Structure 1
Amino acid sequence: NRRLTYLLGDGRLTFTNTGAQVRVIPQELRELPLLRGFDDESALAALADRFVQEEYQPGDVIVERGGAADRVVLMAHGKANKLGVGEYGEDSVLDVLADGEHIGQRILVDEEATWPHTLKAVTPCTVLVLHRQDVRELTDRFDNLARHLRDTDSRALPPHNKHGEAAIDVLSGHRGEPALAGTYVDYELEPREYELSVAQTVLRVHSRVADLYNQPMNQTEQQLRLTIEALRERQEEELVNNREFGLLHNADLSQRIHTRTGPPTPDDLDELLALVWKDADFFLAHPRTIAAFGRECNRRGLYPQSIDINGNKVPAWRGVPIFPCNKLHVSDTRTSSILLMRTGEHNQGVVGLHQTGIPDEYQPGLSVRFMGIDERAIISYLVSAYYSAAVLVPDALGVLEHVEI
């Protein structure tokens, strides 16, 4: 069971482009907290049309702390540092904003809002901005939009913790005999159901090969071994990249961070460990990403230790092994991602799903079923693998995105 979570509006937006012109998809504006649940397509289209594209270079200030917040800013492409006041009054990097993230949505309802932070471009940035004057004109034109914004802003969320989960009332530090708080854990009413995915192929072997070429190596078994290896490769690809259940797409948005500068540094992996701080089991990264991390360590004069895993030396950081995985693809722009996860049902981590006890089971979750011999004396076997993956709680999986190699 997963605890009930109230939507706090931390979604990311998606954009389309024609050449260098970028436009936000109107329906994606519902990812702004104040527009969640708004279903007037014409009003959303009008809002999307009012966004203006702006370009910034590294070091440019996009918004400045203390100034009047007069626009919504959507990060279409690039990376920018959110700067705030540090402990001793100096500028401190509080967060990194990148593709799909946004700031300034309070101007939709607050005429007196000011910028609480400075946003400074780290890379060339393409942003879309919606000015307050355009918001006024559209709320005057669409009464339902103005009403939705007022209602959403005034609606109070039920008691919840900082993660958005329904609160559990607990009394502590009391003296005497006060009445204890009564509580219960509120679960999600419609938890997600996972349907096992399948990878299948038909192995065809001529009976002549099966009869004559079975010594010293049984060719049917070798054909089957190589076929199963191919299915397992596809299974690994799906477990990482499938849009329905793949780890890259199922990491909670609050569990995704960006590199501070571009290449993967020790600081970035420390930030990732701060996300998955309960019993993190291992990192997953492309071999070239691991090499890029090694270069950053060399530049700083650091030499990460290796640990022994089943007799093999594996690079590690802070005692957590870094396993290579070529399914975390490197993009055409030489960027990739790094995963960090806690595993196991008992740890409420990431778990693999498969069905055992299926007919003609050859390996757990994999069956090899004899389909017959056709008139050409070709033997056919149906080879099927069933699998999926689930992230039991959000903090079991963290992703470091847009890692430059």
Structure 2
Amino acid sequence: MKYISELMESINRCLLPKLAKYFDESQTHKEFDIRNENLRHNFQLLEQCLGDLDILKTKEVSAIIAALLILYKELTCDCSWNNEDTQEYSKKLNIYFELLCGLRLDNILHQRSNFNVQEIYDTSLDMLHRKLSYENFKKYPGQVEVYCSIVKDLRKYKVSLNPQNVFPASLLLIDDYINANKSKGLICCLSILRCLEYKHFKGGNYYEVVYKSLMKVSIEKDADITKLTHACLLELCRIFPSDIKDARLKEIYSEILDQLYTESNLYRKAECFKFTKNIIEFHKVSCVIKNNFKNIINDSLDNCTNEAVAEILLPHTLQCLEEWLKYCWPIWKLSSDYKMISALLKVLLTSKDSEIATHIQKLLITLICLCKTDEQKQIIANLDKANEIQNTEFNLRIEAIKQEINV
């Protein structure tokens, strides 16, 4: 036990110590310099401790390997507190471990071996989460990077997953006010969710904890954060149990439509349209309950008569409308929704992209075919007036539409 305690202490001395201030509160931290200045001496002590211990016959082997794995990843990460020397020490540690155990530290979780890989993985996360608490996670930037590194490759590991053991640090990062931390947390969350099925949540409703964190961050205005949040929510929708899935989709759909209605940033709005299309794929005919969808589409199409706006927004607006029509076409009526045809025709007139124009034509044909016969005749009669517009390409597009309507 004495040797094991000394070994674990020598590993700890090679790690970054707890910072006096949060990482984001200062550009410099004296703890980084102190660790790097003492690393050579502390690493020599670590080598000596490893040499004095028969690691393969030690009962605490999983805890030792977990601690060594954390040290290796902290020394390896491309961060401001590391340098060429720390990279060299990480290589030495990997080589030394391979000599002792016949395996490399950098892929210890990726393969079956005589070691208990599940136990090493669980212990690693437990060690990390002891430090990455709500009060202290910003004082352990190295451990944050290690956590992110471990979670990033989750799909490749030969382990089973427990949401309550793997999620906490990612949710802390997501809830932070700094976008860099939010992004790290969302990337980790996405990696975790892609490895999970509903069966992993049996015996609890931890998916609700994840859902609340994601919905809280879904209002963030940064387009990249928005994109990551939407990806996580879509993975969560895949996992939701059937008894609550419809209610959660209803909430998500309502929230994203509210955001589309008020959002002014075109790039974020484009991300919201892409997400809405995906939610419609999940929610299907239940989307009919929100009638403001049509107004949102009309407003977006009106804005897309501007070429610069259309370049960013139009493809996603059209794809979203097309998906909505697959399931919600029965509630589209010419008498109340004629503005949609008008808006599509305006965009068709101004569009210079042939692929986009073809997409608009198909949507117009679909909408016209949804009308009653007398309504279709009325529309065709109005389309005949398009010849008055001195635009050959537009006139050809209108003729192509008329050819598809059999009245």
TM-score by length of 2: 0.21
Which structure has the larger Rg over C-alpha atoms? 2
Identify the structure with bigger relative contact order (alpha carbons < 8 Å, sequence gap 6+).
1
Q: Which has the higher helix share?
A: 2
* TM-score, structure 1 as length reference: 0.21
